[in-house]
């Protein structure tokens, strides 16, 4: 029964657009202060998570949001800025049921990095609802990104490409 409801919710939310169109504000490496890393836990290899967590934590205040299929997969102990999201955390309308998650989605971030590889309507809808100046991800169906990296061979390769790009972005000085 719950599998059917989850599939309906995934299809329904996957078709919904982002709440508001947001101006793209590319952020370079020196000006980025905050970031959020989105991880579909069952979909992303652990080396990607470790590589990007280490890479971003050293430079920005980082929140990590894990999307897991079931509450049983949430570890008993989690880090201070780690958040876990399940399909049951999301109402059919797309509203987040937990205050902790609503607080994360209420923040504005300089960078959003989505490590997921496969489309998922619930996950993609919620990623589209996050407030981020610059959205980065893999070029995949359902992704809502400003910058896409389609040919990713390894976590280190993708991290190097991203670091190079962020260092090359020029912003106007006032």
- Any idea where the domains of the chain sit in the sequence? 2-168
Q: Confirm if 29 and 14 have CB atoms less than 8 A apart.
A: no
pLDDT digits (tens, 9 = 90+) for 147-163: 888 888 899 999 999 99
- How far the first Cα of the chain sits from its last, in Å, is 57
pLDDT of residue 10: 73
* pTM given for the model: 0.84
Compare 93 and 50 and report the one with higher pLDDT.
Answer: 50
Classify domain 2-168 by CATH number.
3.40.50
């Amino acid at each position: 029964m719950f599998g059917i409801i989850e599939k309906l919710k995934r299809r329904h939310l996957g078709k919904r657009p982002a709440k508001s169109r947001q101006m793209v504000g590319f952020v370079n490496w020196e000006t980025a202060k905050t970031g959020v890393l989105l991880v579909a836990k069952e979909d992303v290899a652990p080396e990607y998570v470790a590589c990007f967590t280490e890479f971003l934590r050293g430079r920005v205040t980082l929140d990590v949001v894990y999307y897991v299929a079931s509450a049983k997969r949430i570890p008993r102990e989690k880090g201070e800025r780690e958040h876990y999201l399940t399909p049951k955390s999301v109402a059919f309308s797309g509203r987040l049921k937990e205050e902790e998650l609503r607080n994360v989605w209420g923040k504005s971030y300089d960078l959003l990095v989505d490590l997921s590889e496969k489309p998922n309507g619930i996950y993609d809808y919620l990623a589209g609802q996050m407030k981020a100046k610059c959205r980065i991800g893999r070029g995949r169906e359902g992704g809502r990104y400003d910058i896409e990296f389609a040919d990713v061979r390894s976590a280190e390769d993708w991290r190097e490409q991203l670091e190079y790009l962020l260092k090359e972005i020029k912003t106007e000085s006032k």
